[in-house]
């Protein structure tokens, strides 16, 4: 590849459709109301609308719901760089909650930091509708082939 060429991050339509179909078969994501927003090679964005049943005392979005959103976005970012029949499992997850969310839509933007044959490291940020960062996370995934 010459220095002027760029690798396309856009996924072929068939691959994007496969990822969306895979996501539709995740019962837990459906229970939470997670939404597949977009994916490209090495990155994915998912969203969650804050609802009363996902809040804790004080009307704040429960941390478990936030981490589930972050983890799902990260896992699907990994799925954009592995073989279709490979699977992932989270082996490490560190999350920092930066501000509470109590209403609106939260979007998690995941991007791969490092990808090897068996391990993938992903960074994720969750932002509220005002583009304020709600939480950040770094996750490590084991890739099962």
Assigned domain for 2 exists: no
**Cβ neighbour number for residue 103 with a 10 Å cutoff:** 13
What is the CATH number for 72? 3.10.129.10
Assigned domain for 27 exists: yes
Could you list the residue range(s) of the whole structural domain that residue 119 is in? 13-144
**Cβ neighbour number for residue 46 with a 10 Å cutoff:** 29
d(CA 3, CA 95): 37
Assigned domain for 4 exists: no
Question: What would the pLDDT profile of 43-98 be if each residue is shown by its tens digit?
Answer: 999 999 999 999 999 999 999 999 999 999 999 999 999 999 999 999 999 999 99
Assigned domain for 20 exists: yes
Question: What would the pLDDT profile of 89-132 be if each residue is shown by its tens digit?
Answer: 999 999 999 999 999 999 999 999 999 999 999 999 999 999 99
Assigned domain for 1 exists: no
Total domains in the fold of the chain: 1
């Amino acid at each position: 590849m010459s220095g002027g060429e760029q690798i396309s991050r856009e996924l072929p339509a068939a691959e994007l459709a496969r990822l969306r179909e895979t996501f539709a078969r995740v019962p837990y994501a459906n229970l939470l109301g997670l939404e597949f927003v977009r994916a490209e090679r090495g990155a994915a964005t998912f969203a969650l609308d804050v609802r009363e049943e996902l809040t804790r005392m004080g009307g704040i979005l429960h941390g478990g719901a936030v981490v589930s959103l972050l983890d799902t976005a990260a896992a699907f970012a990994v799925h954009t760089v592995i073989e279709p029949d490979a699977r992932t499992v989270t082996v490490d997850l560190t999350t920092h909650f930066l501000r509470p969310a109590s209403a609106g839509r939260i979007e998690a933007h995941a991007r791969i930091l490092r990808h090897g044959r068996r391990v993938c490291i992903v960074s994720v940020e969750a932002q509220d509708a005002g583009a304020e960062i709600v939480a950040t996370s770094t996750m490590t995934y084991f890739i099962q082939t």
